[in-house]
Amino acid sequence: MYTVGIDLGATFVKMGLVDDKGKVCFRRKIETPSSLNKAFLIDAIINNIRDIIKVSGKKVSGVGIGVPGPVDSKKGIVHYFPNIKGWKEVPLKSILKKKLSLDLELDNDVNAITLGEFVFGAGKYCDNLVCITLGTGVGGGIIIDGKLYRGGSMAAGEIGHMPINEIGPKCNCGGIACLERYIGNRYILERAKNAFGGNITLETLTSLAKSGNKKAVAIWTDVAEKLAVALVGIVNLLNPDKIIIGGGVSKAGSLILNPLKRQIKARAMKDQAKHVKIVLAKLSADAGIIGASLLTHS
């Protein structure tokens, strides 16, 4: 059985035909410059879905779409995209259904990635897990009793907006001392620039730390320790089997993972800390396509 998975992002739309083992074939990629209007983008998506189906010659059972913003996944409505203009309360599911006679589901991209890791990645065989994506934003998805948990108004999973202090800097979301306000990649980069000068990238910061630079190691350790405060709360509250760390920033790998594990062991309750496994995500660049392809089964 094959499904089309679509990872709608602010820079690219990545699409692929995914088989029932999570293997991606017949990829397509559409650029999404900020000038691209909504109707044009939707048409391009429809044409590419048709093209993938035609070229592959496979029987396709459905289409899943992960999108970069809050949605009503039951009704198939995009509420808005923080980083793409012109999308407000768009009934994307019904628009696409009119043109394609296929089963079709959408959800936010982090939920899709979480589903991907749960079925084919680092979360296999775990009924209760939390998946975190570290990048510009800090996102989260939750699997409870083997099912994606979406919350009372489909807005669950905002790990990046758990406060890690009573008092602290104001966050874009309106909150105070949110995790993302400390470890969203722009804030890590800000600290790196203060330490190493203006041209540094996060990749360089990671290289420096890996080669033993103490200032660089200290920045990653502090990122991990701040992440740990929120995760200790999650470990004690939800007692998950696994926490999966993904997203671009997670490329720092053991620089984050090791101090994170140390902090969970030191600060979380004994039983819960012993039970939980903290691991890196497995699906990497294809996570969005693979996860989205699973939405029609979830």
Contact residues for a second copy (CB under 8 A)?
Answer: 70, 126-128, 140, 142, 144-145, 147, 149-159, 161-166, 173-176, 225-226, 229-230, 232-234, 236-241, 266-272, 275-276
Nearer to a second copy, 126 or 249 (CB): 126
Nearer to a second copy, 62 or 246 (CB): 246
Nearer to a second copy, 100 or 162 (CB): 162
Nearer to a second copy, 16 or 157 (CB): 157
* Backbone φ/ψ region at 5: left (φ over 0), alpha (ψ -120 to 50), beta: beta
In angstroms, give the least distance from the CB of 86 to a second copy: 20
In degrees, rounded to 5, the angle at the alpha carbon of residue 138 between the alpha carbons of residues 78 and 12 is 55
Residue 98 phi/psi, 5-degree rounding, is -60, -30
In angstroms, give the least distance from the CB of 167 to a second copy: 9
Quote the tokens at residue 64.
């899943």
Nearer to a second copy, 239 or 296 (CB): 239
In degrees, rounded to 5, the angle at the alpha carbon of residue 92 between the alpha carbons of residues 88 and 97 is 160
In angstroms, give the least distance from the CB of 174 to a second copy: 7
Nearer to a second copy, 1 or 266 (CB): 266
**Rg (alpha carbons) of the chain, rounded to whole number:** 19
In angstroms, give the least distance from the CB of 225 to a second copy: 7
Alpha carbon distance 267, 219 (integer Å): 20
In angstroms, give the least distance from the CB of 82 to a second copy: 12
Strand locations in the chain (E): 2-8, 12-18, 24-31, 60-67, 71-72, 77-80, 88-90, 103-108, 129-134, 138-144, 147-148, 242-246, 277-280
Distance of CA 107 to the CA centre of its chain: 11
In angstroms, give the least distance from the CB of 96 to a second copy: 24
